[in-house]
Amino acid sequence: MALLTPEDLDNLSAQFEESESTIERVTGTRLTDICKELYGKDLGSEKVGIIPITAGNGIISNFTSSLLFIAQRLGLEGFITQHTDVAGYYEAIRDGADILLMADDHLFIAHNLRNGKLVTNHEATGIIYSEIASRFKDSGSSEILVIGLGRVGYAGAKHLAEKGFDVYACDPNRDFLDKAAHEIGIKEYCKEDRKKFSMVFEATPNANTITEGMIAERCLVSTPGIPCGLPQEVGGKYRVDLVMEPLFIGVTSMLYSVI
């Protein structure tokens, strides 16, 4: 997935509230309730330590404050360490963090120090966005399309296959397609089949990946991708509900998954 920018996180609360409203309307369930069902646990009184990491391209200016906002919005106590990197890691543990959140250019992780559970953002994000797509009330089908089979897309496709959905997927990387077909049994999407889907999980860092021929007239597109894979003209022509938000949904899934 594409790296976030400070601009992506502007108005995070408004972005989440719009997506939360859509999720509840098209699935009949709030995001936190979906996570409770999905992971079989509810958040308690966990304390979240957020560690700024300077490696690679460095710290995104409003990233850690956005994580703190999410933790507190979910009812958890949280703090951002004053120090970065290893010193910040030490500070978080010293000051009683139960869960650590930290990210560099390659991985964003949540680690529960009390039970040892560890999850990456790409896994938790793939699972929750694919789960949202699979709960579309107006679908009436077990067929679902996954666009992109990178780390996020593969995690979502695997989750859907394990739930018994009929998973179709497309990716320009032949190796990714072959791996997913062999390991989890996905079917390759072929536009010549003229098959259209009412449930779409899009997981690429590219714009305009969703074509008119892919989607049914009534459709849910669930995507953490930036930029948006749904062209505006396609979304306007059909009755498409779009769930797209840069951070809140994925982090919520991360926190629930390590409880």
Chain centroid, CA 219 distance in Å? 19
Angle at 213 between CA 208 and CA 214, to 5 degrees: 70
pLDDT tens digits, 148-161: 999 999 999 999 99
The whole-number average pLDDT for the span 194-201 is: 96
What's the confidence (pLDDT) of residue 2?
60
Specify the pTM: 0.96
**Beta strands in the chain, from DSSP E residues, in sequence order:** 47-51, 77-80, 99-103, 108-112, 118-120, 143-147, 166-170, 187-188, 197-202, 215-223, 239-244
Place of tokens 């680690």: 111
Find residue 166's DSSP bridge partners.
143
pLDDT at 22 over 90: yes
The secondary structure of 209-253 as a DSSP string is ---GGGEEEEEEEEE--SS-SS-HHHHHHTEEEEEE-SSHHHHHH
Q: Which of 87-101, 167-181, 224-238 has the lowest mean pLDDT?
A: 224-238
pLDDT at 225 over 80: no
Query: Residue 110: which of 259, 255, 256 has the closest Cα?
Result: 255
> Across the chain, what does the average pLDDT equal?
95
Listed in sequence order, the residues at least 6 apart from 232 whose beta carbon sits closer than 8 Å to its beta carbon are none
pLDDT tens digits, 89-137: 999 999 999 999 999 999 999 999 999 999 999 999 999 999 999 999 9
What's the confidence (pLDDT) of residue 1?
47
Ordered by where they begin, the domains of the chain are 6-122+250-257 (3.40.50.12150), 126-244 (3.40.50.720)
82-10-74-50 Cα dihedral, nearest 10 degrees: -20
Model confidence at 71, in pLDDT bands (50, 70, 90)?
Answer: very high
Q: Which of 2-6, 56-60, 95-99, 173-177 has the lowest mean pLDDT?
A: 2-6
